[in-house]
């Protein structure tokens, strides 16, 4: 019994390390095995705005950029150095706001992303699953079918287009919510009502876009899972035995249908960084996604690289946490 | 009398893509089941026996519909018509008076909860559990009485073997010591050794509490071992009823005779004759006696009229023109 | 092929959602094919008066770059569809290969491959794609873009294929084929492919939707080749010209409306197809067919 559980944990941890290894190796290889040299790219971009640059100065800059990006020595040496710096938590300096380290920039943006995306993803997941479970259990009811059609129409729309439509409708055509930012310019950050209400008001629309799309997906998934579970014998048996509906729904239907959705939550958390880029770009929300967008704009290769690596590690860890929590919900994993 | 079935008809009605279909799974069944007996219902698969027992348990969900007839339970000397009950009364009747062991009982336990939790849920559907500790002791005692190991109570279903799960399902059905137990193919998915144990358990419970067991299975050997009386079902109707010895030694209906003669006996090496043809579709059953297309003795009257159920002696009844030809003429 | 048309006819006759999706998709494909008769090349600007509202001459209006949005959208739809098809085709090759070999070989090979596979499933793709396209910006065309997308978009479906293979391996006819001396790759092609094909098809559409959605995202961020007309780059140019603020809403309206219709009908195709393939509904159909017949 103990052994199966231990095996499960070890496998999960190994899988997490594997994700980090594969992801970081891919990110390492991209700039080295593409025909474009990021150093040359950076230099072209810099010299574009300067009238004259001395060839020696250029050469010096080239060398210092190569050091900066860890592009010295053989590929293998570079690879080892790359990992070495990662272990020290060093993601290099940002180019656009030199010499501030990438890590510091990420740290200042992270609370916004975490606050907005983590909460709205979890809200979307919980709402979608609870309402989806009800809709699946009472699938012949009118409201369940109406909700189903709504989710069906919203869910397949590409997130960018949906978020954009929402922004246009609720901030531009009918200006209820602010167009951009995380809080009003005038309010001073701190624990005062003015600031908090401003944050909530600014966060509402981006959160709504994530909740609506996420809700649609979770709702549809849960509804079809529940419609499978309710044809199981243990549901029929509980019904025959006269167990009340609400109890069947809670202890029998949801407990069983939720299991694949928990694994789904791990993937959803992984999608946060996909989502963050777009949400924060559309709503100009100052999180990591917006940071990435400004990095693209200003040609800050180091910052993009750093964000990619950071998101890989964060996602792998989030998935690991959910995997380790999974046995709490499914006794079959630890007791075999 | 424990329960009485009068001219019961239960059909599956569905209409997909504009085409309405009616499957007459139970079509005019009359039976009286006595107290303190094990009554077996035999027949090929899809002859309507599962539908019959499901109807007896009052589990009627669309597309299944009761088209006609009555099911009357005798509860404390009072006759109760099952289909006249309100849903709350039906709920009170189930499990306390009539327990139902589902086909494929291996999967009737909730896989993510401990067995004791299912006991709690099922019990609390009928009475308040005020003292959890006393309740646990009651369950423990019940499980021990049935000869099951005590740790099944705290186990999860996946930790139990198929036979053990079946036994737990039986324990679950008998926690209130109900006067009537309906069991649908309780041993079908189990291997022979485990089958014996499960059947013995059912038999012991019946002996001890003196209740009534209605046992549905296609397996004639099980009926021979366990049942006191047997009803043979064919295409939605009962064609022969009698004490187990009468059925196995003096079968009168040609279909029953085929079922019996297809059983292997020790030392007999003659090849078994297979029944020609296939059972009829219950969506479109043949006129008259439903067995006539496969019957070697079929007469003209069999194709036109439904044979009446006639008693020979000792409660041995047969619905067959050929078997009852002396009585009819 | 006959069975393909059989499924199509069956779905068209009994599934309203599929009917809608089929008609909408056919219309969109015809629309995209109309690009071959376009009077203007999508590369030229100022060929028509700019900023015209939708009217009888210019059905979708014209944009601030003096392009007829109707014809622009025919190109954009064609390119986006072609991009989606290409990405899905390329990633199908990888996922079929990984799924099938992993399922058949089993053992250590399977375990290593699935560990890599699962890593690709959880890997946050967008940051990596942004990094990649950031470096290669300008050098990218639709084919190289779909190549990079395919590299990241195969893993989830490879798992589906693998589980299908595992269930096929357990079935009777596989053993029969092995005992009759058939080689494994022959069994795979002859006996198993017909069962894997429906999954290939339904994941194909799913993957197309994913790829086309990603294309919109990357283009909007300005990370694809913005000189090729696609749904994403149309939105990019509209944003660049601040179409909304200057009141040229139809510039965004056209790509948004087309993509909503496109994605909805593709999604409906997938769900009716999956429902059709679900053994439970299949059983019900067979039952109906037999009761109808007698």
Find where tokens 């989710």 sit: A151
A163 contacts A283 by C-beta, under 8 angstroms: yes
pLDDT above 60 (res C289) = no
pLDDT above 60 (res C282) = no
Between residues B300 and A32, which one has the greater pLDDT? Answer: B300
Verify whether the Cβ–Cβ distance C290 to B21 is below 8 Å: no
Touching A: which chains, 3+ CB pairs < 8 A?
B, C
Find where tokens 């008769």 sit: C37
Show me where the domains of chain B are located.
3-97+178-265+274-287
Q: CA-nearest residue of chain A to B105?
A: A233
Residue A24 Cα, gap to closest chain C Cα (Å): 10
Looking at the complex, does the CB of residue A14 fall below 8 Å from at least one CB of chain C?
yes
As a whole number of angstroms, the distance between CA C20 and CA C12 comes to 9
Residue A303 Cα, gap to closest chain C Cα (Å): 10
Per-residue model confidence as pLDDT tens digits over A244-285: 888 899 889 998 888 888 878 877 776 777 777 788 888 888
Per-residue model confidence as pLDDT tens digits over A184-213: 766 666 667 777 888 888 888 888 888 888
Residue B277: DSSP 8-state: S
pLDDT band at B329 (very low <50, low <70, confident <90, very high): very low
C291, C292, C293, C294: best to mutate for the B interface, most B CBs within 10 A: C291
Q: CA-nearest residue of chain B to A256?
A: B112
pLDDT above 60 (res C287) = no
pLDDT above 80 (res A71) = no
Per-residue model confidence as pLDDT tens digits over A80-133: 888 888 888 887 777 777 678 888 888 888 888 888 888 888 899 999 999 999
pLDDT above 50 (res C292) = no
Mind giving me the DSSP string for C149-199? HHHHSSHHHHHHHHHHHHHHHTSHHHHHHHHTT--HHHHIIIIIHHHHHHH
Q: CA-nearest residue of chain C to B19?
A: C292
pLDDT above 70 (res C19) = yes
Residue B151 Cα, gap to closest chain A Cα (Å): 14
Query: Which among B104, B109, B125 is the nearest to A244, CB-wise?
Result: B125
Between residues A183 and A26, which one has the greater pLDDT? Answer: A26
Question: Chain A residues with CB inside 8 Å of B82's CB?
Answer: none
Per-residue model confidence as pLDDT tens digits over B195-251: 888 888 888 888 888 889 999 988 888 888 889 999 999 988 999 999 999 998 888
Verify whether the Cβ–Cβ distance C122 to A14 is below 8 Å: no
- Percent of residues, chain B, with pLDDT higher than 70: 95
Touching C: which chains, 3+ CB pairs < 8 A?
A, B
Verify whether the Cβ–Cβ distance B16 to C284 is below 8 Å: yes
The whole-number pLDDT of residue C25 equals 93
pLDDT above 70 (res C197) = yes
Sheet order of strands, B237-243 included: B98-101, B180-184, B212-216, B38-42, B229-234, B237-243, B317-318, B310-311
The whole-number pLDDT of residue A329 equals 84
Between A42-46, B101-105, C66-70, the lowest mean confidence (pLDDT) is in: A42-46
Q: Residue B80 in 3-state DSSP?
A: strand
CATH architecture assignment, domain A103-329? Orthogonal Bundle (1.10)
Q: CA-nearest residue of chain C to B16?
A: C288
The whole-number pLDDT of residue C291 equals 45
Q: CA-nearest residue of chain C to B15?
A: C288
B17, B278, B279: best to mutate for the C interface, most C CBs within 10 A: B17
Verify whether the Cβ–Cβ distance C119 to A19 is below 8 Å: yes
Residue C159 Cα, gap to closest chain A Cα (Å): 15
pLDDT band at A50 (very low <50, low <70, confident <90, very high): low
Between residues A189 and B116, which one has the greater pLDDT? Answer: B116
Q: Please say whether the dihedral angle defined by the alpha carbons of residues C164, C167, C170 and C172, taken in this order, is positive or negative.
A: negative
pLDDT above 60 (res C43) = yes
Quick one: average pLDDT of A230-236?
A: 85
Question: Chain B residues with CB inside 8 Å of A242's CB?
Answer: 91-92, 94-95, 122, 125-126
The whole-number pLDDT of residue B16 equals 62
C18, C112, C119: best to mutate for the A interface, most A CBs within 10 A: C119
| Distance, first Cα to last Cα, chain B | 32
pTM of the entire structure?
0.78
Between A49-63, A281-295, C107-121, C194-208, the lowest mean confidence (pLDDT) is in: A49-63
Show me where the domains of chain A are located.
2-87, 103-329
Q: Please say whether the dihedral angle defined by the alpha carbons of residues C174, C270, C149 and C85, taken in this order, is positive or negative.
A: positive
Question: Chain A residues with CB inside 8 Å of C247's CB?
Answer: none
Residue B122 Cα, gap to closest chain A Cα (Å): 6
Six-digit token string for A205: 């629309």
Residue A183: DSSP 8-state: S
Quick one: average pLDDT of B23-36?
A: 88
Verify whether the Cβ–Cβ distance A240 to B57 is below 8 Å: yes
Half-sphere exposure of residue A100, counting CA atoms within 13 Å on the CB side?
Answer: 11
Quick one: average pLDDT of C36-55?
A: 83
Quick one: average pLDDT of A159-181?
A: 81
Between residues A51 and C67, which one has the greater pLDDT? Answer: C67
Residues 151-180 of B with CB under 8 A from A: 156, 158-159, 172
Question: Chain B residues with CB inside 8 Å of C290's CB?
Answer: 281
Query: Which among C122, C221, C223 is the nearest to A270, CB-wise?
Result: C122
Question: Chain A residues with CB inside 8 Å of C24's CB?
Answer: none
B283, B285, B286, B293: best to mutate for the C interface, most C CBs within 10 A: B283
Between residues C269 and A179, which one has the greater pLDDT? Answer: C269
Quick one: average pLDDT of A165-192?
A: 76
pLDDT above 80 (res C284) = no
Touching B: which chains, 3+ CB pairs < 8 A?
A, C
Question: Chain C residues with CB inside 8 Å of B19's CB?
Answer: 288, 292
Residues 270-289 of C with CB under 8 A from B: 284, 288
ipTM of this predicted structure: 0.80
Residues pairing with B184 in the sheet = B216
The whole-number pLDDT of residue B213 equals 92
- Percent of residues, chain A, with pLDDT higher than 90: 5
Quick one: average pLDDT of B47-60?
A: 87
Q: Which of A148, A105, A146 is nearest to A128 (CA)?
A: A148
pLDDT above 80 (res A158) = no
As a whole number of angstroms, the distance between CA A190 and CA A182 comes to 13
Per-residue model confidence as pLDDT tens digits over B289-312: 899 888 888 888 888 888 888 888
Quick one: average pLDDT of B85-114?
A: 83
The whole-number pLDDT of residue C279 equals 62
Q: What's the mean pLDDT when you consider all of chain A?
A: 82
Q: CA-nearest residue of chain C to A311?
A: C124
Verify whether the Cβ–Cβ distance C291 to B16 is below 8 Å: no
pLDDT above 50 (res B72) = yes
Q: CA-nearest residue of chain C to B282?
A: C291
Half-sphere exposure of residue C260, counting CA atoms within 13 Å on the CB side?
Answer: 13
Quick one: average pLDDT of C34-38?
A: 88
pLDDT above 60 (res B48) = yes
Residue C135 Cα, gap to closest chain A Cα (Å): 6
pLDDT band at C33 (very low <50, low <70, confident <90, very high): very high
The whole-number pLDDT of residue C135 equals 80
Question: Chain A residues with CB inside 8 Å of B124's CB?
Answer: 243
Query: Which among B104, B112, B122 is the nearest to A241, CB-wise?
Result: B122
Q: CA-nearest residue of chain C to B21?
A: C291
Residues 16-45 of B with CB under 8 A from C: 16-17, 19, 21, 23
The whole-number pLDDT of residue B272 equals 67
Query: Which among B95, B105, B112 is the nearest to A242, CB-wise?
Result: B95
Quick one: average pLDDT of A23-37?
A: 80
pLDDT band at C270 (very low <50, low <70, confident <90, very high): confident
The whole-number pLDDT of residue A281 equals 85
Query: Which among A238, A240, A329 is the nearest to B121, CB-wise?
Result: A238
Between residues B164 and A299, which one has the greater pLDDT? Answer: B164
- The CATH number of B3-97+178-265+274-287 is 3.40.50.300
As a whole number of angstroms, the distance between CA B164 and CA B160 comes to 6
A109 contacts A290 by C-beta, under 8 angstroms: yes
Six-digit token string for A72: 């010295």
H helix or E strand, kind and range, residue B144: helix B132-145
């Amino acid at each position: 019994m103990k052994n199966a559980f231990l095996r499960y944990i070890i496998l999960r941890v190994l899988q997490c390390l594997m994700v980090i290894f594969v992801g970081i190796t891919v990110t390492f290889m991209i700039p080295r095995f593409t025909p474009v040299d990021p150093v040359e790219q950076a230099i072209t971009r810099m010299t574009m705005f300067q009238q004259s640059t001395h060839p020696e100065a250029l050469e010096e800059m080239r060398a210092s950029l190569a050091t900066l990006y860890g592009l010295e020595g053989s590929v293998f040496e570079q690879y080892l150095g790359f990992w070495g710096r990662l272990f020290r938590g060093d993601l290099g300096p940002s180019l656009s706001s030199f010499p501030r380290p990438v890590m510091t920039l990420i740290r200042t943006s992270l609370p916004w992303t975490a606050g907005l995306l983590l909460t709205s993803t979890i809200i979307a997941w919980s709402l979608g699953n609870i309402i989806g479970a009800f809709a699946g259990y009472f699938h012949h009811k009118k409201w369940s079918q109406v909700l189903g059609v709504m989710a069906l129409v919203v869910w397949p729309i590409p997130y960018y287009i949906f978020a954009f439509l929402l922004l246009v409708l609720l901030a531009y055509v009918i200006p209820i919510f602010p167009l951009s930012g995380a809080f009003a310019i005038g309010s001073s950050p701190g624990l005062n009502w003015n600031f908090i209400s401003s944050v909530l008001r600014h966060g509402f629309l981006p959160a709504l876009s994530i909740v609506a799309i996420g809700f649609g997906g979770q709702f549809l998934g849960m509804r079809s899972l529940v419609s499978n579970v309710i044809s199981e014998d243990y549901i029929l048996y509980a019904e025959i035995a006269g167990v009340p509906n609400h109890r069947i729904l809670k202890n029998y239907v949801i407990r069983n249908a939720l299991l694949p959705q928990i694994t789904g939550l791990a993937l959803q958390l992984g999608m946060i960084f996909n989502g963050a880029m777009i949400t924060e770009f559309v709503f100009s929300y100052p999180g990591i996604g917006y940071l990435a967008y400004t990095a693209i704009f200003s040609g800050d290769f180091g910052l993009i690289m750093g964000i990619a690596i950071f998101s890989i590690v964060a996602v792998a860890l989030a998935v690991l946490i959910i995997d380790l929590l999974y046995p709490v919900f499914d006794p079959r994993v630890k007791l075999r | 009398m424990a329960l009485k079935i009068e001219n019961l008809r239960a059909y599956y009605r569905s209409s997909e893509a504009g085409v309405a279909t009616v499957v007459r799974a139970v079509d005019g069944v009359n039976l009286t089941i006595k107290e303190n007996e094990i009554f077996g219902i035999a027949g090929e698969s899809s002859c309507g026996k599962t539908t019959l027992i499901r109807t007896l348990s009052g589990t009627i969900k669309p597309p299944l519909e009761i088209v006609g007839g009555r099911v009357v339970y005798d509860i404390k000397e009072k006759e109760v018509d099952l289909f006249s009950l309100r849903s709350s009364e039906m709920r009170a009747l189930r499990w306390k008076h009539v327990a139902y062991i589902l086909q494929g009982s291996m999967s009737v336990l909730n896989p993510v909860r401990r067995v004791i939790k299912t006991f709690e849920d099922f019990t609390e559907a009928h009475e308040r559990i005020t003292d959890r500790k006393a309740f646990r002791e009651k369950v423990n005692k019940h499980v021990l009485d049935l000869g099951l190991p005590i740790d099944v109570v705290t186990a999860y279903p996946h930790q139990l073997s198929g036979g053990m799960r079946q036994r737990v399902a039986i324990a679950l059905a008998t926690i209130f010591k109900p006067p009537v137990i309906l069991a649908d193919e309780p041993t079908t998915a189990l291997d022979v050794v485990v089958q014996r144990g499960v059947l013995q358990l059912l038999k012991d419970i019946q002996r001890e509490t003196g209740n009534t067991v209605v046992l549905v299975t296609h397996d004639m050997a099980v009926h021979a071992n366990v049942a006191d009386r047997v009803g043979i079902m064919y295409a939605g109707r009962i064609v022969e009823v009698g004490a187990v010895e009468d059925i196995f030694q003096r079968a009168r209906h040609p279909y029953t005779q085929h079922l019996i003669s297809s059983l292997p006996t020790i030392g007999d090496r003659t090849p078994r004759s297979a029944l020609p043809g296939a059972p009829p579709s219950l969506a479109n059953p043949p006129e008259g006696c439903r067995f006539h297309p496969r019957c070697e003795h079929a007469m003209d009257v069999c194709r036109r009229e439904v044979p009446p159920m006639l008693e020979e002696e000792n409660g041995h009844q047969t619905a067959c023109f050929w078997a009852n030809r002396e009585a009819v003429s | 092929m006959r069975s393909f048309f059989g499924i199509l006819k069956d779905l068209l006759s009994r599934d309203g959602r599929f009917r809608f999706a089929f008609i909408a998709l056919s219309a969109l494909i015809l629309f995209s094919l109309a690009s071959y008769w376009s009077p203007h090349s999508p590369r030229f600007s100022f060929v028509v008066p700019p900023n015209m509202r939708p009217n009888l001459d210019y059905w979708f209006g014209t944009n601030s770059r003096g392009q007829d949005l109707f014809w622009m959208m025919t190109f954009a739809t064609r390119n986006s569809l072609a991009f989606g098809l290409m990405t899905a085709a390329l990633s199908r090759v990888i996922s079929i290969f990984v799924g099938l070999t992993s399922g058949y070989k089993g053992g250590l090979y399977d375990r290593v491959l699935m560990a890599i596979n699962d890593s690709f499933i959880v890997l946050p793709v967008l940051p990596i794609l942004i990094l990649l396209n950031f470096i290669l910006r300008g050098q990218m065309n639709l084919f190289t873009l779909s190549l990079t997308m395919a590299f990241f978009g195969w893993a989830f479906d490879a798992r589906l294929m693998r589980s299908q293979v595992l269930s096929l391996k357990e079935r009777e006819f596989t053993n029969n084929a092995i005992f009759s001396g058939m080689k494994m790759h022959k069994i795979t092609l002859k006996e198993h492919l017909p069962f894997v094909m429906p999954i290939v098809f339904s994941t194909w559409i799913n993957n197309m939707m994913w790829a086309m959605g990603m294309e919109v995202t990357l283009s909007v961020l300005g990370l694809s080749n913005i000189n090729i007309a696609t749904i994403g780059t149309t939105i990019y140019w509209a944003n660049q010209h601040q179409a909304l603020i200057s009141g040229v809403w139809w510039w965004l309206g056209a790509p948004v409306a087309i993509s909503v219709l496109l994605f909805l009908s593709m999604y409906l195709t997938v769900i009716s197809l999956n429902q059709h393939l679900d053994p439970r509904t299949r059983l019900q159909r067979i039952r109906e067919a037999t009761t109808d017949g007698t």
